Structure 1
Amino acid sequence: MNADDARDLAALISAVGTDQLGQALDRALRQRVDFDMSCVYLFRFNHPALLVHNGYNRSVPERTLAAYQRGGYLLDPFYVACINDHPGGLWRMSELAPDCFFSSGFSISPDIHPCVSSEHGTLVEEIGFIVPLQPRVALVYSLMRNLGDGPFSTEEMQTLEALTPVVHALLELHGRVRHGDSFAYAETSDARSEDAFMDILQGQLTEAQRYIAKLILQGHSSASIAALLGISEGTVKVHKHNIYQRLEISNNADLFRLFIDYLTRLA
């Protein structure tokens, strides 16, 4: 470790437990990898997403951030990974996303997805450090880049992966020091769907239907849902038909519109 590295590490350690940690991490990583935006979220099952660090550089409207925190996060592959106790480490969003995610309503909506609402549109790659804190609770530190500058290269990912133990240790300590009260009593049940889906889907669905609607919204195809639940695609299609009837809609696009309309109306 040279003198510069020692100073950077000292600055990072000093920022733990303060509002400055996100900025300190950004400064340290930008010396090694270029990125346009960043954020840190605390994700907890059945609790609203908590924005710990806003590094969007004013590229994202407050209304969009409000809609995301009100419920848009429920469809975010990083949130889904965290509440399913995905292994920690550095991940590309594309590695976590369901098979139809990048054509889903969430992925392409400028109203609830911060990356899409940025000036770069959908041409933003997101990678993130997942830092588990306890079952179904984790911090995620995301870095985003305009794909006009090219995606994060293999070499850049290797550089960041080498720093993962340091980033993980800093964020884990920060989470426990600064936000421990926010997850000390986090939901520990084996429930599959969050209460927010009951409100968003108007409370008109059975538990099984609500879970399938959740998977549709998160970007799963019928084949993916069938594989996850161990049922046939035909059974999934029957469930989807019944969901549409109960919600008085016609297709997946209407389901996404119902979800987005709910969030943006209340944001």
Structure 2
Amino acid sequence: MIAEQFSGAVAGLIEKAGVADYGAALDRLASCAAGFDMSCAFAFSTGHAPVVIHDGYSETVDRRALRSYLRGAYLLDPFYQASVSAGAEGLWRMRELAPDQFYDSDFAWSREVHPCISDEAGTLVEEIGFVIPLPDGFGATYSLMRNRGGQPFDAAEFQRLRAMLPILAASLRQHWALISGGAGGMAGMPARPVAERVFHEVFGDQLTPAQYAVAKLILRGHSSLSIAENLGITEGTVKIHRSNIYRRLGISSQGELFQRFINHLAD
């Protein structure tokens, strides 16, 4: 019975490549390995806005929050960072990708940008996701989520899902080729990195390049020590940058920095 269910799900995934209900076929296959409450799939790139491949949480997610996420809050998502990084292909638990202070960050607890983004805040007990490189500089994330009140994905479920990676990767690449039109389908899209554009829209020319680099990592949930390690500077220098960022923006806390970012996305 299980083999029949699995083979039927694989057949359905092949049939639905390039069509609107492809996401339902993705979920049908994944559910052969483990149950979940919500799901989503995005194609991310450093040079383009995200593409929604599958929206499996419309009934429970505030549409305004999803809009803010797509306008720029996704830049703070650990799965976005993994999708645009080399060598990140695989199945990951959110906590394996998140910066050291992610779960203490305003982003992780904000229902204004994406109520499902954190597995220790909002509505979730856990989020896991497949990270799959795509052509043309894109990477896909297919996330599975369990709501609070349930249990995290156990080791056996995680292993069964991970065994599906080759099928899911091949299918998502086929689907992407059909819906994107290849490199030609990206013609005319802005060449300037989206992260650079979004952060400059929020903060303008008020920050120096070094301060921009620090501000981005603060918003993503990095501690001063983690920022120092990422940028190759001392922790003391990070603290000086942080102080100067707040002074230049006329704010006094990390919470205010985040709120300015979110207010721009929600306008």
Q: TM-score, normalised by structure 1?
A: 0.91
1:222 aligns with 2:211: no
1:187 Cα deviation after fit: 7.6
Aligned residues: 263
Structure 2 unmatched runs, 5+: none
Question: Is the deviation greater in 149-158 or in 134-143?
Answer: 134-143
Deviates more, 1:71-80 or 1:197-206: 197-206
The Cα of 1:123 is off from its aligned counterpart by 3.4
Contact 2:49–2:194 (CA under 8 A) maintained in structure 1: no
1:212 pairs with 2:248:
no
Question: Could you say which residue in structure 2 is the equivalent of 1:154?
Answer: 155
2:239 and 2:197 mapped to 1: Cα distance? 24
Instruction: State the alpha-carbon separation in 1 of the partners of residues 113 and 194 from structure 2.
Output: 23
Residue number among 242, 245, 249 corresponding to 2:244 in the alignment: 242
- Asked if 1:109 is matched to 2:110, the reply is yes
Which has the larger displacement, 56-65 or 130-139?
130-139
TM-superposition CA deviations, 1:193-240 (whole Å, max 9, x none): 521111112331111111110000000000000011111100001111
What letter corresponds to residue 213 of structure 2 in structure 1? Y
Stretch moving more, 133-142 or 64-73: 133-142
Q: Kindly indicate whether the alpha-carbon contact (under 8 Å) linking 2:76 and 2:107 is maintained by their aligned counterparts in 1.
A: yes
Misfit runs of 4+, over 6 Å: 184-189
Structure 1 residue matching 2:30: 3-state secondary structure:
helix
CA contact (8 A) 2:74 2:80 kept: yes
* Structure 1 residues 129 and 56, CA gap change in structure 2 (3 angstroms): same
Return the alpha-carbon distance in structure 1 between the equivalents of residues 78 and 137 of structure 2: 14
**1:126 matches 2:119:** no
Q: Is the 8 A contact 2:47 2:191 kept in 1?
A: no
The answer as to whether partners of 2:107 and 2:258 remain within 8 angstroms in 1 is: yes
Tell me which moved more, 172-181 or 1-10.
1-10
Structure 1's 221 and 192: CA in aligned 2 closer, same or farther, altered over 3 A? Answer: farther
Q: 1:48 — aligned with what?
A: 49
CA RMSD in angstroms comes to: 2.4
The CA deviation string for residues 150-206 of structure 1, in whole angstroms up to 9 with x for no partner, is 1111111001011111011100111122123554677888x7952111111233111
Change (3 A) 1:143 1:68: same
Deviation at 1:88, TM superposition (A): 0.8
Contact 1:44 1:186 (C-alpha < 8 Å) held by counterparts = no
**Contact kept in structure 2, 1:41 and 1:52, CA below 8 Å:** yes
Kindly indicate whether the alpha-carbon contact (under 8 Å) linking 2:115 and 2:122 is maintained by their aligned counterparts in 1: no
Tell me the residue number matched to 1:79: 80
* Residue of structure 1 equivalent to 2:254: 252
Bigger mean CA offset, 179-188 vs 55-64: 179-188
Relative to structure 1, is the Cα distance of residues 61 and 224 closer, same or farther in structure 2, using a 3 angstrom cutoff?
A: same
Uncovered stretches (5+) of structure 1, i.e. residues with no partner:
none
- Given that residues 84 and 136 in structure 1 are in contact (C-alpha distance below 8 angstroms), is that contact kept between their aligned partners in structure 2? no
Q: What is the TM-score of this pair, normalised by structure 2?
A: 0.91
Q: Deviations over 1:70-106 (max 9, x none)?
A: 1110100011112222421111111111000011111
Q: Structure 1: which amino acid aligns with 2:16?
A: A
2:18 and 2:76 map into 1 onto residues whose CA distance is 29
Identity of aligned residues (%): 46
